[in-house]
Structure 1
Amino acid sequence: MSVYRNFNQECLDKQYNVRGGIPGYQAIFDRWARESRDFRATHPVRENLAYGDDPKQALDFFPAISRGRPLLVFIHGGYWQSLDKSDFSYVAAPYLRHDINVAVVNYRLAPDVPMAAIVRDNQEALAWLYRQAEVLGFDGNRIFVSGHSAGGHLTAAMAGTNWEQFGVPAGLVKGGCAISGLYDLEPIRLCYLNQVVRLTPADVAAYSPVHHLPTTKLPMILTVGGDESDEYHRLQAQYAALLREQGVETEVVVQARGHHFDAVDYLGNAEGELAAAVLRMIAAAS
């Protein structure tokens, strides 16, 4: 019996079960945590800056050498229910080398809070950063957002946010990089993940980036691991087409190979094409 498109329940679940397709994924998580811990030990960082009252509503800020430089925000993945900002400090390396500030954001997770709160947390984090630009020493008019998996979804959601409702400029986000993003939440609602995420049809309509495209002409970079499931590739192709129809400058960085967790590593690889594309995007807005 078809549950979504041409997938029965088992096949749909397999399309989105990224851990199931990556033997030894825990070793990857352990490496991220270890490399990020080492990175924080050797780079200046302001840890656990609170943008809200909950302990999860906090971020780590890695300052550039010079004042008034751009800011790249990173939003972690984990299917809205796991992982932590402390696992991803290492992605800051290529950008700090180019005198670009980096902020790595935490947010509340499912099932403790619904999707509305998860999206709102990230919006509040970006609005808070904008208001703290002078204190933290970066250029509040050059804020860029990146994220992986669920963070890719949230990056796209930030790009499509009406920022004026937060009392900040409509063009708060100057560009985005979404890695292995989940741009339509309907298959998530229908697969095994919804046992924890608990999406409703109203959530799908309200928080799917395919239904809320950017209204400003910010550039967007999209990428997905070459070996990821067909659904991840389909979601990216669909979102890229919609962005281009909207007149949004959209660059797709092709990864010939690589699984879901390799994809985010490329953001922190100074020698790779993804980091180069992000650096070009930031430089173009300077």
Structure 2
Amino acid sequence: MSDPQTDVEYNVRNTVSPELFDEIIAEYLARSESAVRGLRGFTDIYYDPHSQQKLDVWGTSDEPRPVFVAIHGGYWRALSRHHTAFMARALDSEGIATVTVDYGLAPETPLEEIVRQVRAAVAWVYHHGADHGLDPDRIVVGGSSAGGHLTGTLMVPGWQQPLGLPENVVRGAMPISGLFDLRPLVDSFANEWLGLDIERARALSPLLLADGPGPTAVIAVADRDGAGFRTQTKRFHDAWAEHSACTLLVVPDRNHYDIFLDLADPTTTLNRALVRMIDGLAERHSAARALP
């Protein structure tokens, strides 16, 4: 049995009408298809031999580019990389490549395996990105909702070395309207497909693993988001700010679903924050290369 109050706090489908939800999800796909049409890149790359999951690379050029690894949401059980490329053309115009990532979906895929897969995707970018127009020293990750949680699992320490990665492989991060402490979900409707107990939820919670320096982050949430998502975003920002540079961004006039689309619009605060973060990495990268 789920807890009714927890269900209210975390059931963001109830924060928008069914018609608006369907409209926004359709817009994810339509705008993604439009954004990548004619854009230079590589598609249908198997990044993980074990799971046979794929990624796409968009917005490449003749010189290695910083890369934004975009991770889709869908409460870990829906959507795909094809819904998550809408920012690719806007970022291409800024000299930034985009990688969109698929992962196995719950309940068929346990959450531990989903986390392993997105980490494997980052490992692919680091080890093979240079052959696909990507700069492995300028990797930024981001995603919305479940993708925000998965972004958090890429920010924390402790997973990089077994994959042959430096501790700072992720240089910047933008979790958007994510969940960072999964323990409340054990008593929620979402556990129907997650099947978590408290111990597993604790082990999969970035908020509880944020115990050392990590990447620069912009931690964002919609001001019309669900109460649980707003609270968790603030808590994660406060925990991350104890040891790493980060900014809390509450985006006005946005809900849990349409906030993500702001990354496709260069006039929005969210897009500008991402570009500034990546440009800052580029400046530091250029300065480091100039040292004798």
For the aligned pair, the TM-score class normalised by the smaller chain equals over 0.9
Deviations 1:32-71, CA, capped at 9 Å, x for gaps: 1122122232322322110124676111100332412211
Deviations 1:15-36, CA, capped at 9 Å, x for gaps: 2111222111112111211221
- The whole-number CA distance in structure 1 between the counterparts of 2:140 and 2:211 is 14
Structure 2 residue identity aligned to 1:212: L
Aligned: 1:14 with 2:8: yes
Mean Cα displacement is larger for which, 177-186 or 253-262? 253-262
Mean Cα displacement is larger for which, 132-141 or 99-108? 132-141
Q: Matched residue of 1:118: which SS?
A: helix
Structure 1 residue identity aligned to 2:3: Q
Aligned: 1:135 with 2:131: yes
Pairwise CA distance, 1:214: 6.2
Partner of 1:70: 66
Mean Cα displacement is larger for which, 69-78 or 26-35? 26-35
Check 1:214–1:43 CA distance in 2 against 1; reply closer, same or farther (3 A cut).
farther
Check 1:214–1:101 CA distance in 2 against 1; reply closer, same or farther (3 A cut).
farther
Structure 2 residue identity aligned to 1:138: L
- The whole-number CA distance in structure 2 between the counterparts of 1:270 and 1:79 is 27
Mean Cα displacement is larger for which, 130-139 or 97-106? 130-139
Aligned: 1:108 with 2:94: no
- The whole-number CA distance in structure 2 between the counterparts of 1:91 and 1:230 is 27
Structure 1-normalised TM-score? 0.93
2:236 to 215, 239, 243: 239
CA RMSD of aligned residues (A): 1.7
Deviations 1:101-136, CA, capped at 9 Å, x for gaps: 110111011111111100000001100111102211
- The whole-number CA distance in structure 2 between the counterparts of 1:203 and 1:96 is 39
Which residues of structure 1 form unaligned runs of 5+?
A: none
- The whole-number CA distance in structure 2 between the counterparts of 1:41 and 1:68 is 21
- The whole-number CA distance in structure 2 between the counterparts of 1:34 and 1:217 is 35
Aligned: 1:154 with 2:150: yes
Which residues of structure 2 form unaligned runs of 5+?
A: 283-292
- The whole-number CA distance in structure 1 between the counterparts of 2:40 and 2:76 is 28
Mapping for residues 84-95 of structure 1, pairs under 5 Å: 84-95=80-91
Structure 1 residue identity aligned to 2:61: I
Q: Identity, % of aligned pairs?
A: 27
- The whole-number CA distance in structure 1 between the counterparts of 2:52 and 2:31 is 21
Check 1:150–1:28 CA distance in 2 against 1; reply closer, same or farther (3 A cut).
same
Mean Cα displacement is larger for which, 161-170 or 46-55? 46-55
Structure 2-normalised TM-score? 0.91
**Are the aligned partners of 2:72 and 2:81 in contact in 1 as well (CA < 8 Å)?**
yes
- The whole-number CA distance in structure 2 between the counterparts of 1:63 and 1:38 is 13
Alignment coverage as a number of residue pairs? 279
Partner of 1:220: 217
